[in-house]
Amino acid sequence: MTAARLVRLPLPGTATPQQALRALAAEPWPFALVGAWAGGGAIVGCRPLRVAAPEEDPFALFDQLPRVSAGDAHDADETTGGAVGGGWFGWLGYGLGARIESLPPSPPRPAPLPPFQLAYYDHLLRQDTAGQWWFEALATAAREAELEERLADLRARLAAAPSLPVGRFEAPRALRLTGAGAAGHVAAVAECRERIAAGEVFQANVCLRLEASWTGDVTELFARASERLAPRYGAAFPTPDGGVASCSPELFLRRRGGELTVTAAPIKGTAPRGSDAAAAGEAELLASGKDRAENVMIVDLMRNDLGRVSVYGSIAAEPPVAEAHPGVWHLVSQVRGRLRDDASDGDLLRATFPPGSVTGAPKVEAMRLIAELEGTGREAYTGAIGYASPLAGLELNVAIRTFEASAGRLWLGVGGGIVAESDPARELEECLVKARPLAAAVGSRIEGERAGRPAVPPIPRALSRDRGRPDPARGLFETLLVRDGVALRAAEHLARLAASVAACWGEALPGDLAERVAAAAAAPGAPPAAPLRVVVRPHAGGLVTTVELGPPRQRRLPVELVPFVLPGGLGSHKWLDRTLLDQLAAQAGGGATPLLIDADGTVLEAAWGNVFLLDGDRLLTPPADGRLLPGVSRAAVLRAAGATGLTASEGPVAFGQLARADGILLSSALAGLAPAVLRGGEGDARAAFDTARALSLVPETVVRA
């Protein structure tokens, strides 16, 4: 452990925290914490000494802090009392829970963020509760000169911050519920209630996601939102590709300085807060048996989590109180424990992460259920954001009310605790009540709020305790059709695979892969038509890519489809792990193909192909919105349809539409455009056969009737 001395010097200036953050926005890795952090005020910084690498253990990093002496503090009575000095700052994503517990793979992640973002800052700007700004640093001998330069630079930037022009801000378009939308959330809550009745869990926190296309500045987004909402635990961590802007009201963990007492303040229990009936909302919440039940369960969970690393008998909880926050009242409880002498901050995090208020009870079973019911994987949302400082201690919020941005998208997760008494429609409205003030604060609004109950007939669920989603760690693959020595549409297939590899691992395909594919397709003795499989597996910090020509395949037509409900689908990548699909095919039996349906009853895709509905001279296929694989053959059908007098388009397809359609077709590289029927359906496949032949997309050497 290195040694450092505290440098703490007052700085002139009247900048607000938001103005200070704007002044540092162009610097490397800027951040801001505003609200109750470290006793109140703000912490703003940039130019970290080190950014954690993806392969590091984020929990262990919180224990890698220097020993600090008083040094050059301005006031001997305040040598460390109000100082932060520096430390590790950033976020821990919800997905890190899988590094602590054995959990099933998460739902699809349309725009993945890093699992965590942490950086070590040895200097920062600190505003105390009186509005005074300070330059604080954890100085080492090797950094003396650089810190002198940083002091001069930050003094000038802070002085100029109030007069800097506010950058142009483009408000995000309307935030829309993603995937299965409002109806899907209602269905997820109803399913959660069934699981509670069956005794799987007592409570689970079920969330939905609101999203918009957006390429704006996270710094300015946070500045505007935090100025309007005054969050208790606001945090901004812009990154080169986006970042997070949190307006969280909730404290996850706080350990002051060298103290051993740890405080958690879980929020569980919500009521709307209107300006004309605020007191009534507070009284209603305090009297609500359902909300108190939610609160008691999570308080008990937090007592248990803290108890893993606390002195026996030191855990105590206070009765809940109602707190006012933008648009809502919340029940908040204080839970405290005294850490054992041998328990570090890293141990504390491993014992308590992710926060119990956004998982459920029992925690691990609730997290398994979340992976089954939610249609989109969580990123930073419902993880934690904050810092570990050798002076100020450990302090993390619960990453709720948090905007996240990446890959041209902006999204906001909202959710609520589901118990036996929960009403699905009311739970949806509670989510929207929480989201509306945030959307309004950044000049946006919410669309697609209304939802009736999904009109879905009894359909088996794809996921269960013993049947999980594909494991991304197994790898990706692509299947091409080889005909007469040529791999058809090879460039399109490899482009799709390259995009998936970049999205999943930030890597590129081998430069000679196209040549390897062409050589395998033209290998002597190859059959006239056969599948060629390209497989990419992560291995020892790199990727292993294989190319293999397989035997010819045959498929009976029409394909028989058996539906299964899979919230959020399989996502836009072609996973090598086909265990779930094989299990579903075995359950369907008779050579049938699983058909995947989202929680709201909308059609996604079949196990090996995209779905097209034929209605007169119109072909309709579900949109490639991140829930399904955007097939190369699917794109070919959309292009070719016009030449045969058909109109082809993308749009939602309800499961009920399939039974009434003139035909159903599946598209894939190997099957071309294959006619299909629903098991037990009354329709026939003649029109679908005619359409497939008209489009010349049935390779008869591979597929037979």
Catalytic residue, candidates 268, 363, 434, 574: 268
Annotated catalytic residue within 136, 191, 211, 250? 250
Order of all β-strands in the sheet with 593-597: 603-606, 593-597, 559-565, 672-678, 663-668, 610-615, 618-621, 647-650
User: What is the distance, to the nearest Å, from the Cα of residue 658 to the centroid of all Cα atoms in its chain?
Assistant: 32
Quick one: tokens of 205?
A: 């926190």
Tell me the residue type at 59: F
Q: Is position 250 annotated as part of the catalytic site?
A: yes
3-state SS, residue 30: coil
Reduce the DSSP state of residue 239 to 3 states and report it.
strand
- Give yes or no: 434 in active site: no
Phi and psi angles of residue 556, each rounded to the nearest 5 degrees, phi first: -80, 135
Return the closest-CA partner of residue 10 out of 116, 120, 181, 159.
159
What secondary structure does DSSP assign to 434-492, as a single string? Answer: HHHHHHHHTT--EE-------------BS-BTTB----GGG-EEEEEEEETTEETTHHH
Question: What sign does the CA torsion over 13, 17, 19, 20 have?
Answer: positive
Identity of the amino acid at 309? V
Rounded Cα distance between 73 and 421, Å, is 55
Return the H-helix or E-strand segment holding 505.
helix 490-505
**H helices then E strands: how many in the chain?**
16, 38
Output the CA angle 11-225-223, nearest 5 degrees.
30
User: Could you tell me the strand order of the sheet in which 328-332 lies?
Assistant: 267-272, 328-332, 321-325
**Which of the residues are catalytic?**
250, 268
